[in-house]
Amino acid sequence: MINRYGITGILSIFLLMGFVHPSAGQADLGKIKCICIDAGHGGKDPGAIGSKGYEKNVVLAVALKVGKLIENAYPDIKVIYIRKKDVFVELRDRTRIANDNKADLFISIHANSLDVKSRPSNRNIKGAETFVLGTNSSEHNLKVAMKENSVIHYEDDYSVKYAGFDPSRAESYILFNMIRNLHLENSVNLASMIQEELVSTAKMADREVRQSPLWVLKDVAMPSTLVEIGYITNAEDERRMTSASGQDQIAKAIFRGFQKYKNKVEQNIVAPIGVGTPAGSTPSSSATTGSQRPVYAIQVASAVTPEQNSARLCKGEKVNELHTGGRYRYYVCPSENLEEVKARLGKIRNIVKDCFVIAIYKGNIISVAEARKIEQK
| Confidence band for 215, pLDDT divided at 50, 70 and 90 | low
Contacts of 209 (CB under 8 A, 6+ apart): 129, 130, 131, 132, 188, 191, 192, 195, 302, 327
Reported as a single tens digit per residue, the pLDDT across 33-50 is 999 999 999 999 999 999
Does residue 232 sit in the same domain as residue 371? no
CA 87 distance to own-chain centroid: 24
> Looking at residue 222, what is its pLDDT?
84
Mean pLDDT of 44-69: 95
For residue 241, give the amino acid letter: M
**210 lies in the same domain as 331:** no
**Shared-domain flag, residues 190 and 223:** yes
Does residue 272 fall inside a structural domain?
A: no
Q: Do both 253 and 328 map to the same domain?
A: no
CA angle at 372 for the pair 96 and 273, rounded to the nearest 5°? 100
Spatial distance between the Cα atoms of 303 and 298, rounded to a whole number of angstroms: 15
Does position 208 have pLDDT exceeding 80, yes or no? yes
Tell which of 202, 235, 266 closes a domain.
Answer: 266
Domain identity same for 120 and 156? yes
The predicted pLDDT at position 38 comes to: 95
The answer on 315 and 233 residing in a single domain is no
Kindly state whether residues 176 and 308 are assigned to the same domain.
no
Does any domain span residue 275? no
- Number of alpha carbons in the 13 Å side-chain half-sphere of residue 347: 10
At residue 145, what are phi and psi to the nearest 5 degrees? -60, -45
Residue 372, Cβ density class (10 Å: 0-12 exposed, 13-18 middle, ≥19 buried): middle
Last residue of a domain, one of 236, 266, 296: 266
Helices (H), the chain: 2-17, 55-73, 91-100, 139-149, 158-161, 184-200, 215-218, 235-242, 244-267, 287-290, 338-349, 368-376
Query: What's the burial of 108, exposed, middle or buried (CB within 10 Å: 0-12/13-18/19+)?
Result: buried
- pLDDT at position 128, please? 96
Q: Are residues 228 and 94 in the same domain?
A: yes
Per-residue model confidence (pLDDT) at position 156: 54
Q: Residue 306 phi/psi, 5° resolution?
A: -65, 145
pLDDT (mean) for 58-82: 96
Residues 74-126: tens digit of each pLDDT: 999 999 999 999 999 988 889 889 989 999 999 999 999 999 999 999 999 99
Does residue 35 share a domain with residue 170?
Answer: yes
CATH of the domain at 48: 3.40.630.40
Q: Is residue 277 part of a domain?
A: no
Is residue 276 assigned to a domain?
A: no
Proportion of the chain above pLDDT 90, given as a percent? 46
Q: Mean pLDDT, to the nearest integer, of 13-39?
A: 58
Name all contacts of 143-146 with Cβ < 8 Å and 24+ positions apart. 144/112, 144/210, 144/212, 144/214, 144/228, 145/173, 145/212, 145/213, 145/214
- Which of 5-9, 128-132, 157-161, 303-307 is predicted most confidently? 128-132
Lowest mean pLDDT among 19-23, 69-73, 217-221: 19-23
Q: Do residues 83 and 14 share a domain?
A: yes
pLDDT band at 15 (very low <50, low <70, confident <90, very high): very low
Mark whether 110 and 257 lie in a shared domain.
yes
In a domain? residue 181: yes
* Tens-place pLDDT, residues 112-169: 999 999 999 999 999 999 988 765 444 444 454 455 545 554 555 544 344 444 545 5
DSSP class of residue 275 equals T
Note down the domain range covering 363: 287-376
Residues 306 and 192 in one domain: no
Q: What pLDDT score was predicted for residue 328?
A: 82
Q: Is residue 333 one of the residues assigned to a domain?
A: yes
Does any domain span residue 340?
yes
CATH of the domain at 351: 3.30.70.1070
Burial 219-246 (b: 16+ CB within 10 A, else e): bbbbbbbbbbbbbbbbebbbebbbeeeb
Least Cα distance to 270 among 130, 365, 132 occurs for 365
Beta-carbon contacts of 290 under 8 Å, excluding residues fewer than 6 positions away, are none
Confidence label for 213 from pLDDT (cuts 50, 70 and 90): low
Give the residue from 231, 266, 301 where a domain finishes. Answer: 266
Q: What is the mean pLDDT of the chain?
A: 77
Residue 156 lies in a domain: yes
Number of domains in the chain: 2
